[in-house]
Amino acid sequence: MGKGENMERVARRSPLSIGSTDDRPADAASVRQDLVLESVSYAIAGRQVVKDISLTVRDGEFFTLLGPSGCGKTTLLRLIAGFESPQTGSISLGATRLEGLPAARRPINTVFQNYALFPHLNVAGNVAFGLRMLKWSREDIAERVDEVLGLVQLLDLRHRRVSELSGGQQQRVALARALAPSPKVLLLDEPLSALDLKLRRDMQVELKRIQTELRQTVIFVTHDQEEALSMSDRIAIMRDGDILQCETPAALYTQPADRFVAAFLGEANFLSAKLRAIDNFHATVEMRNGQTASIALGRHMPAPGEVTVMFRPEDVELGSGPGLSLTASVIQKSYLGSDLSFQLHLRDGTPVKLRSRASAAMEALRIGQQVPLSIPFEQLRIVGETR
């Protein structure tokens, strides 16, 4: 069986009564089944862990919850899965209300950080376990196990004990087990965090490939910014139980709503300035060195007074040029393979990060050396303070 045919068969079949395509008219399978949360809140011992969250995860979307430890992202995942119940609000998948429905009856499967594989079962036995609980026939189980193991490229290891597998292979067994009953939504709770860097990047590619080919709705929890940027269709940035901003990776990176989002999603530089005027969706600001800059406004509309100007390390250019001009001293130099990273200080002590492709000119910079810097005006952004 070819890989494309295998993908179609795995995507087509589902034993679950809720959201199953097996007992519906053919055209019903094409109806969008967005996951919708409306005003969902959850508290533990009087502390609001999830605060009045409303969001829509689109059918077939790779959606990421990104934030620091303790921000509420795993709790939100557990509410969707049915392991916890929201104290206020509703959760729906298509036309089906999920709150009050036990986890076992939701068309949702979860891959946990520790994979939760059964050590006494082999690879095929682990994948088949959930299907046995759903009372599939032996023939159907055998067929589906082969399908999903082929999907994750582990068919040759179907009889291997999970204790004999590498971390990446165990992760793929957990993924195959979760995909076996064709869930409408797949929840991934930091499933790659235990892997080494190279294997984690390989698995990112593999996960995205499978999700794209199956058109599988995935909600992915991580605190790894690079992971979120490389895999997601959209990202929700969480902090203290709240969603600060939800956008595509490119929109979040180039138009962060506030200082926290800008700093959490990649590296960022911040300078203080005074707002002088707003005209035609551009703000005129005066920097501390007396230079004025015209900055295109995004969704954040700054209030009069002091504002924060943000730019990324890769936007900083060595030497004098058009745009914002600065003078800084080299404090630290780091070699990052094809790139060089510099920590610099402006004359008033404000830190600035510069990242650039390695070159003879960049490698010649010495610690303590004063250098001119320029940042094109179009790379400057005004960001708000985090609420």
pLDDT at 22: 39
Say if residue 201 is in the same domain as residue 268: no
Both 79 and 102 in one domain: the answer is: yes
pLDDT value at residue 25: 38
Do both 273 and 356 map to the same domain? yes
Residues 203 and 350 in one domain: no
CA 154 to CA 49: how far, in whole Å? 39
Residue 93 β-bridge partners: 35, 96
For residue 136, give its domain range: 3-254
| Region of residue 86 (phi > 0: left; psi between -120 and 50: alpha; otherwise: beta) | beta
Same domain, 31 and 92: yes
**DSSP type of residue 314:** G
What is the structure's pLDDT at 14? 41
The domain that contains 278 carries what CATH number? 2.40.50.140
Tell me, yes or no, whether 233 and 370 share the same domain.
no
The terminus-to-terminus CA distance of the chain in angstroms comes to: 54
The list of the chain residues with pLDDT below 70 reads 1-30, 387
**Structure tokens belonging to residue 244:** 């600060």
CATH number of the domain that residue 54 is part of? 3.40.50.300
Tokens 């891959």, residue located: 111
Query: Rounded to whole angstroms, what are the CA distances from 154 to 60, 151, 188?
Result: 24, 8, 20
What pLDDT, on a 0 to 100 scale, did the predictor assign at position 48?
Answer: 94
Our count of domains for the chain comes to 2
pLDDT, residue 196, reads 84
**DSSP conformation letters of 35-54:** EEEEEEEEEETTEEEEEEEE
Last residue of a domain, one of 254, 277, 305: 254
In the prediction, which pLDDT does 203 show?
85
The answer on 202 and 115 residing in a single domain is yes
* Distance from the Cα of residue 304 to its chain's centroid: 34
pLDDT score recorded for residue 113: 82
Among residues 190, 219, 254, the one where a domain terminates is: 254
| Cross-strand pairs, 328 | 346, 371
* The predicted structure's pLDDT at residue 20: 36
This prediction's pTM: 0.86
- pLDDT of amino acid 30: 55
Residues 307 and 291 in one domain: yes
Q: Which two tokens stand for residue 58?
A: 């689109």
**How many residues comprise the chain?**
387
Domain edge (last residue) among 232, 254, 276: 254
Q: Are residues 247 and 341 in the same domain?
A: no
Confidence at residue 301, expressed as pLDDT on a 0 to 100 scale: 78
153 and 272: one domain? Answer: no
Residue 219 sits in the same domain as residue 284: no
41 close to 86: Cβ distance less than 8 angstroms: yes
Considering the domain architecture, whether residues 156 and 193 belong to the same structural domain is answered as: yes
Neighbours of 123 (CB within 10 A): 28
